[in-house]
Chain A
Amino acid sequence: MTTVQTATGPAKTMVLNMGPQHPSTHGVLRVLLELDGETVVKTDVDIGYLHTGIEKTAEALTYSQTITITDRMDYLAPLSNNLVYCLAVEKLLGLEVPKRAQYIRVLLTELTRIGSHLVWLGTHAIDLGAMSVFLYCFREREDLLNIFEMVSGQRMMTSYFRIGGLALEPPTGWMDRVEKVVRTFPSRFDEYEDLLTKNRIWLARTQGVGLLTASDAIALGVSGPSLRGSGVDYDVRKYFPYSSYDEFDFQVPVRTEGDCYARYLCRVAEMRESLKIVRQAMEKIPSDGPIRADAPGIVAPQREKMKIEMEALIYHFKIYTEGFAPPPGEVYQRVESPRGELGCFLASDGSPKPYRMRIRAPSFVNLQALNKMVEGRLIADVIASIGTLDIVLGEIDR
């Protein structure tokens, strides 16, 4: 498909194809490596194997229908995707979401962050030869998926956040499950750290590997833990708070080393901070109150009202047949997904379908840094560097 432009001439170097079917590319990623012996001269990343035209598809769906395809981009953090899209539409409409729904959104997206980081930790460790961490991480992730299934009916493709609030009232007893997670996870994180943080093989494979300076990271648009591992404290939750994040007390872990080990420490610390936020959210969430904004014609009416009110029945019919039409205009909404700045640009032309939906996928932008991280390094470091970027091909290719 593409050829590497050789920098030192074809006689000395060889081109090695890695992927798209390679266990440590975390999806269908193809990397062409130009090698001088075992040293990487240049990399060329070839993406698009998972391109499904999600941005184009959104233009043919109504605003509400589009929520379901946002799940399929970053399939390890579907709720973050739901959130950025719903917030963008709500900004377009000028819609205020009830506090109860906002806190539940915060709680669930933070659980999503932990779940996503667990998959990252497990797969990154297995790439670098630590098998058991993977099994533990997936065991813990199951507890989180059970919570998502409990509230939304789905383990992964949740589509639980809706425009103006939430799809359903969470079932009774879900807080007990969350409470169990908050109670048991800190000691589980300690277990992972016991296995890795001072493990000499782990240190040898991650320390000083995949170096990225702060200025390079900013120039390349890197965000999320990958940026914070290079000493820049940019976190959307702190810089541009959304969904009441300004009411929560948490730290943003930052390391200055800029290597794979620093990013590992950042993510593990982030999981603990997420638990702190979850704990606060549990206290903040009122036991009852609306979970959807009161916006007739935009937010679906309550089932009971449809049986006694003519307007509710009409609105229900109109919302699910025609949809609703936001005023013409453009908005850009950013949230902090587990991978970094997840952005949603929405352009409305006053019709019930998005005129243009653009997703700024953090993995897509972060992957650009790969070349910088592995140039002049050994081929084994490529695996560590791809792992540490925490990419999800679903959102890269969209």
Chain B
Amino acid sequence: MTETPDLEKNPNVARIRAWRPEAISQLISFRGELTLVVPREHLRPLAEFLAGESDLAFSYLSDVTGVDRFPVEPRFELNYHLLSISRRDSLRLRVRLPGESPVIESVVPVWPTANWHEREIFDLFGMRFEGHPDLRRMLMPDDWEGYPLRKDYPVEGPR
């Protein structure tokens, strides 16, 4: 994981920098995949920008993934895998969330497919998405206690 000035030359990065320089706090390149680390408050505007601008056209959200870095702070991590079908391009956005308030604005209004992804992350990690239309448990029973994919949750289940 290295940060080099070359990454700034990536057309997607340059386009975002020109629009709002503070929307990217860090650039990570690993095995040819570029990750844009985005501050929490910039995610939703950036999502609208990436999906809305016709020369970017990231209209397809492939996946949203949660990661728990316990006991490291900021503890939680969200990875948004975007795809531009018209430009055959892909991009990853990463947001880090603190353990005591894992709350972020929902991207469902931008990409409706995020609905179930965010519900699943809420269900398994306990992160909350503000403005989500229907934030309920999904895979686990409604009355389940705890969030199974957290690192402090044992693989065998609670004892």
Contact = CB atoms under 8 A, between A and B. Distances in A.
Contacts of A398: 139
Contacts of A380: none
A91 B61 CA distance: 22
Q: Point out which of B30, B66, B90 has the most chain A C-beta atoms below 10 A from its C-beta.
A: B30
A247 to B, nearest CB: 18
A364 interface: yes
A331 interface: yes
B30 A2 contact: no
A56 B148 contact: yes
B113 A328 contact: no
A308 interface: no
B116 A368 contact: yes
Q: Point out which of B88, B112, B141 has the most chain A C-beta atoms below 10 A from its C-beta.
A: B112
Contacts of B141: 1, 48
A51 B137 CA distance: 13
Interface string A325-356: 00011111010000001010101000000011
A345 B81 contact: yes
Contacts of B31: 91-92, 94, 329, 331
B115 A345 contact: no
Interface in B33-86: 33, 35, 59-63, 65-68, 79, 81, 85
B63 A47 contact: no
A7 B138 CA distance: 22
A172 to B, nearest CB: 37
Nearest to B90: A240
B83 to A, nearest CB: 8
A343 B113 CA distance: 15
Contacts of B67: 330, 347, 355-356
A53 B148 CA distance: 8
A356 B139 CA distance: 18
B32 to A, nearest CB: 8
B113 A220 contact: yes
Interface of A: 1-2, 47-48, 51, 53, 55-57, 59-60, 91-92, 94, 218-221, 232, 234, 239-240, 328-332, 334, 341, 343, 345, 347, 355-356, 358, 360, 364-365, 367-368, 397-398
25 contacts: A2-B136, A48-B141, A53-B148, A56-B148, A56-B149, A57-B155, A60-B155, A91-B31, A218-B59, A219-B59, A219-B111, A220-B112, A220-B113, A221-B60, A221-B61, A234-B85, A239-B85, A331-B30, A331-B33, A356-B68, A358-B63, A358-B66, A365-B117, A367-B116, A398-B139
Shortest 5 CB-CB contacts between residues of A and residues of B: A221-B113, A48-B139, A360-B63, A329-B30, A358-B65
